[in-house]
Amino acid sequence: MGAAIGQVLPLAVAVAVSPLAIVAVTLMLSTPRGRVNGPVFTLAWAVGLTVVGTIALLLSSGASASESGKPATWVSVVKLLFGLLLLGAAYRRFRERPRGDAPAKLPGWMKSIDRFKPRRVAALGFGLGGINPKNFILTLSAAGAIAQTGISAGDQAVALAVYVIVGTLGTAVPVGIYFALGERGVHMLDALRRWNARENTAIMIVLFLLIAAKLIGDAIAGFTS
């Protein structure tokens, strides 16, 4: 199980470092519904990761992701493809980066986030956590990494739980700050929101490159083992 957790930790950290989600949850916490919408968003984020991760893990295990304790060839192929996709995403982000002092572009729905009701917040959290392209690729990769170790179903569930918990920290920490510090945490959360909004592109480019390098490296190791 330790090997599986070691494999998924970098992927989980990449999920947690999601500037758009951090901006969204910090904005929610500054609205009148913040005490409800913040936790709802974080819980829905975790549920999204859990649902996608569980389905992917069941499919990976059923497809024999492990062969004699080593990753199956198809797992290495998938890792290579995901790594190349992330390289392409990094290049696209670089091409579309803000020029000069131009502010980073944020989704239009953020302008009306103060009017979001819990049901819409839950849908947003589930979507951003489970099925947005970055997290979807990372969760599929994590499921494959867990399944390829050939550990028992119970140990696989524990490894996936660790992935979900770590991957949720990016949205859970601002909520924790909000409830722990109250008004004292407002300035801290506002600074966190502005920094993530400003550095969103740079963060994502570095993140994509690092995870792409890990996945491609794992694929090469799998092909040559």
Count CB-CB contacts under 10 A for residue 180.
9
Query: How far, in Å, CA of 66 to CA of 61, rounded?
Result: 8
Which residues pair with residue 71 across a beta bridge? 66
Closest residue by Cα to residue 160 from 146, 171, 140: 146
Query: In the block, which residue shows the tokens 């600074």?
Result: 191
Quick one: tokens of 104?
């980073």
Helix/strand/coil for 66: strand
How high is the pLDDT of residue 79?
86
Range of the domain at 152: 2-224
Q: How far apart are CA 51 and CA 117, in angstroms?
A: 23
Check residue 174 and give its pLDDT: 95
Tokens 């392409």 belong to which residue?
88
pTM above 0.85, yes or no: yes
103 DSSP assignment: P
Structure confidence at residue 103 (pLDDT): 65
Residue 154 to residue 161: CA distance in whole angstroms: 11
* Domain tally, the chain: 1
- Contacting residues for 161 by C-beta, under 8 A, at least 6 apart: none
For the chain, helix, strand, coil in percent to 5 are 85, 0, 15
Amino acid at 48: G
pLDDT in the model for residue 16: 95
State how far the alpha carbon of 132 is from the alpha carbons of 16, 21, 135, 161, in Å.
13, 11, 6, 19
Q: What is the pLDDT along the chain (225 residues), one digit of tens a residue?
A: 788 899 899 999 999 999 999 999 999 998 889 899 999 999 999 999 999 999 999 887 766 655 555 667 777 888 899 899 999 999 988 888 777 666 667 777 888 888 899 999 999 999 999 999 899 999 998 998 888 887 888 899 999 999 999 999 999 999 999 999 877 788 888 888 888 888 888 898 999 999 899 889 888 887 877
Give alpha helix (H) positions in 67-132: 73-95, 118-126
- Residues 30/189, Cβ–Cβ less than 8 Å: yes
